[in-house]
Structure 1
């Protein structure tokens, strides 16, 4: 039992470190692709690594009117909460380090906790600019949580009603059996609606591109992170990168669990060896479309526009998906 605990701990730490490195590298590729789409040269691929290493050697400056406990705690909680998401996500054919019946709910909780921690850090800084950014962060969270909740609850209900083996809120259930193969025509259209709705949530979760509202560099001077420096700012950058990779990994687990090793007729360790890089490749492709393409193609929205977008357009799309899937299940 002790050996199993030690092995699980080592595997969890190694996975979180690997996810952190890949998330930072994904940002480098994202910035490079964004520059290419805009016909610019762009920064080096390792520029995010250089930035974080430089920040780690800088001093943490605390504003005079800040609450030190929440000001320092916000970046730490944000980064740790997002790192823990990867402990509950199956990596290809490899089962998650931690698993249970409510993995999906816990993943959404950890993602929300990361955003709340960033907002609390902004409020605790005592800066009016950071206060505005933190308010925008909370409004944005309350906006995209509705379609996100509809997508997750609909998928769980679909899995339950179709009798798919496993718990409806366990991510291993979706990886073991593709929901696309269980849907009829109406259900297939419903899954497409839910997928598009979840894809549009990625910019809101990451705060990039058209949803770069809490920071808005040209408007409120980095907003929620304006008072951060040194190690704290480095932790926030890592947390933002991890959040982008985490929400993309969630999309892959729910909608694209297809195994490359299984398609090649492999099994056992060889299958896991092939599916491991294949999983991160799928995460990268989702991240490129959900973040890079959207932030290149569209300008930043105003906070009221973003809120209306998630409550009206995306919310309606997710409800349409729920109705189509319900019709598909009830007519069988």
Structure 2
């Protein structure tokens, strides 16, 4: 089998896997969220039922919608999100499309996916969707600041410490955990960066308290207001995949530790254990960054969210940058 064909087959298999895992994690998220509120919650497979049901329904296009854009947006949003997983190392398995700028490309794909959802909202011709799309744009401009500070600081750190590999490649962070490159001051800085990035996750994935763009009780699902049937199912899948992608991005950046190395494994057992361990870490990150947060807090107002990311999370990321810089320059 040629290398190109191998990558195509591997990519297709990976896409199927992450869709299943994303929906499974969504089911676990709902159950944990319900149990934290002393409710039973839906069945574990409820997200699968929801998507399958929507796929069987008719997709209605509003009369005022820009039909081609309205129909294409869900497909583009999901496709762009799926591409992210081609650049993320899974345990000891290297990414299918490894490169020197994986992190930059992943951030671009996340932003492009969100932009496609915004465009779909504007194309629907609904005033509710219009408001939701505007809110999403404001939110994107807010959380990009701490996100950029975190990524730039980590890349600069591995570059200054002489870690082998490209500074914007996830494989570089997997090979040498950033925690091993700093002292106490730098460790505090990395912890601040971690907290800042965890704070960005709810906004990136559209979960409470940052589900301002959908806000069911205010603007009737926002930019999703006019979507139904297959198109709505694709957007639901996109949200689940974005949650998985953001959690999966945090793992190689901050938690690349190998369980296989710890137990001295090798060969197939090493790959299998690290593969499972990777998804366990992703699950734990998702529980902490999404489930616990959306259970503890109510929805923010748009000005509160902007203020939160520009000042609190941006300030936290800036503090982390300063601490890491001090550690590199003077310790």
Once residues 190 and 59 of structure 1 are traced to their aligned partners in structure 2, the CA distance between those partners, rounded to angstroms, is 51
> What are the equivalent positions in structure 2 for 1:15-54 lying under 5 Å apart?
15-54=14-53
> What SS does the aligned partner of 2:2 have?
helix
Q: Could you say what secondary structure the match of 2:209 adopts?
A: helix
Matched residue, 2:142:
143
CA displacement at 1:285 relative to structure 2: 0.4
The CA RMSD measured in Å over matched residues stands at 0.7
Note the 1:221-236 alignment, pairs <5 A: 221-236=220-235
How far did residue 269 of structure 1 move? 2.3
User: Distance in 2 between the 1:289 and 1:242 partners?
Assistant: 17
Q: CA deviation at 1:4?
A: 1.1
Q: Which residue of 1 aligns with 2:291?
A: 292
263-272 or 148-157, larger mean C-alpha shift: 263-272
Provide the C-alpha distance between the structure 2 equivalents of 1:102 and 1:12, rounded to a whole number of angstroms: 19
For residues 284 and 69 of structure 1, the distance between their equivalents in structure 2, rounded to whole angstroms, comes to 36
Shift, 1:212, TM fit: 1.0
SS in 1 for 2:134: helix
Deviations along 1:3-45, one digit per CA (max 9) or x if unpaired, are: 1111111111101110011001111110111110111111111
Match of 1:261 in 2: 260
Task: Describe the SS at the equivalent of 1:227.
Answer: coil
1:313 corresponds to: 312
Partners in 1 of 2:155 and 2:268 — Cα distance? 30
TM-score by length of 1: 0.99
**TM-superposed deviation, 1:268:** 2.7
1:42-191 equivalent positions in 2, closer than 5 A: 42-191=41-190
Q: Distance in 2 between matches of 1:83 and 1:17?
A: 10
Q: Cα offset for 1:214?
A: 0.4
Measured in 1, the distance between the counterparts of 2:242 and 2:93 equals 21
Q: CA deviation at 1:203?
A: 0.2
3-state DSSP class of the match of 1:142? helix
Structure 2: distance between partners of 1:77 and 1:253: 26
CA distance in 2, matches of 1:43, 1:111: 29
Question: Which string of whole-angstrom CA distances, capped at 9 and with x for unpartnered residues, describes residues 242-261 of structure 1?
Answer: 00000000001100000011
User: How far is 1:267 from its partner?
Assistant: 1.9
Distance across 2 between alignment mates of 1:271 and 1:38: 39
Residue of structure 1 in register with 2:301 after alignment: 302
SS at match of 1:169: coil
Work out the CA distance in 2 between the residues paired with 1:288 and 1:72.
33
Matched residue SS, 1:210? coil
CA distance in 1, matches of 2:223, 2:91: 35
Q: Separation in 2 of the partners of 1:309 and 1:326?
A: 24
Q: Distance in 2 between matches of 1:135 and 1:253?
A: 32
Q: TM-score, normalised by structure 2?
A: 0.99
1:214 match:
213
SS in 1 for 2:87: coil
In the alignment, the residues of structure 2 paired with residue 35 and residue 274 of structure 1 have an alpha-carbon distance, to the nearest angstrom, of: 30
2:194 paired with 1:195: yes
Q: Write out per-residue CA displacement over residues 208-239 of structure 1, whole angstroms, 9 at most, x where no aligned residue.
A: 01001000111111111010001000000000
Q: Take 2:96 and 2:268, find their aligned partners in 1: how far apart are those partners?
A: 16
Structure 1: gaps spanning 5 or more residues: none
Structure 2 gap ranges (5+): none
